[in-house]
Amino acid sequence: MSAVIQQIEMGKANSYLIEAKNGYILVDAGMPDQVDIVSRFLSKKNADLEDIILIIITHVHYDHVGSLAALKEKTNAEVLVHKKEKELLENGKTEFPEGTVFISKIISKLSNLISESKFKAVTPDITVDDYYDLKQYGIKGEIIHTPGHTGGSISVIINGEDIICGDTLFNFMPHSVYPPFANNKDELIESWQKIKSYNCKRFYPGHGSIFTEEKFIKTLEKKLQ
């Protein structure tokens, strides 16, 4: 059975619901107070929050974990995060990432000066390193470590051709998917080259709309020049 992926807008960021054999997997948990959005989405499928068996966090930023604590409480789902971001999730606080271009560098500095990215802390059930197989959840899927935006960023590959990439790639600009924020630009490009080796056809970003392999490859080639 091929898994079905559906996008859910959760405030400022996208989450993705994966329909698998054994239940549902949610990737990222959006901004705070978004639980009802997920609940209504599931009700259209004659399902409810308790049918979510796993919540995968691509990286621990407030716009991707804002509703995580509430969702974990209502679903009893396991929460998975990269081991490098376990402590951040448990502390309920992260810093705004560094900018990759002039304007985003200014935004990053101002954001860290005037506010703290706080959220309700969560203790994860599963921590991963470089690779994790999702077959135990009744799905053809794998998690790979794709640092750059943050040190513990991960991506989820489904059916060997779809990749949910968190903020490793953005899709706001017409000719680029390069993120405006990343803590390590060299690691980011290395992660992109790693992603390229999987030959994924469709990309599901944390911000913006779904895009194709062609747009990803064109952006990567420009950056490598």
Measured distance CA(154)–CA(222) in Å, rounded = 23
Q: Confidence band (pLDDT; 50, 70, 90) for 1?
A: low
Task: Mention every residue, 6+ apart, whose C-beta is less than 8 A from residue 28.
Answer: 10, 13, 14, 15, 16, 56, 57, 58, 64, 65, 166, 206
Average pLDDT over residues 132-142: 95
pLDDT at 152: 97
Within 10 Å of residue 39's Cβ, how many Cβ atoms? 15
Average pLDDT over residues 81-91: 97
Beta bridge partners of 133: 142
Domain boundaries, the chain: 4-224
Under CATH, domain 4-224 is a member of which superfamily?
Ribonuclease Z/Hydroxyacylglutathione hydrolase-like (3.60.15.10)
88 and 174 Cβ atoms separated by less than 8 Å: no
Type of residue numbered 224: L
Average pLDDT over residues 57-62: 96
Average pLDDT over residues 49-62: 97
Type of residue numbered 61: H
Within 10 Å of residue 48's Cβ, how many Cβ atoms? 14
Measured distance CA(199)–CA(30) in Å, rounded = 27
Measured distance CA(107)–CA(102) in Å, rounded = 9
For 222, the 3-state DSSP assignment is: helix
Average pLDDT over the chain, rounded to an integer? 93
Q: Confidence band (pLDDT; 50, 70, 90) for 76?
A: confident
Tens digits of residue pLDDT in 18-30 = 998 889 999 999 9
pLDDT at 99: 82
205 and 177 Cβ atoms separated by less than 8 Å: yes
Average pLDDT over residues 70-81: 96
Task: Mention every residue, 6+ apart, whose C-beta is less than 8 A from residue 68.
Answer: 29, 55, 57, 79, 89, 119, 120, 122
- Assigned token pair, 161: 């051709």
pLDDT at 115: 58
For 111, the 3-state DSSP assignment is: helix
Q: What share of the chain is helix, strand, coil (3-state, %, to 5)?
A: 30, 30, 40
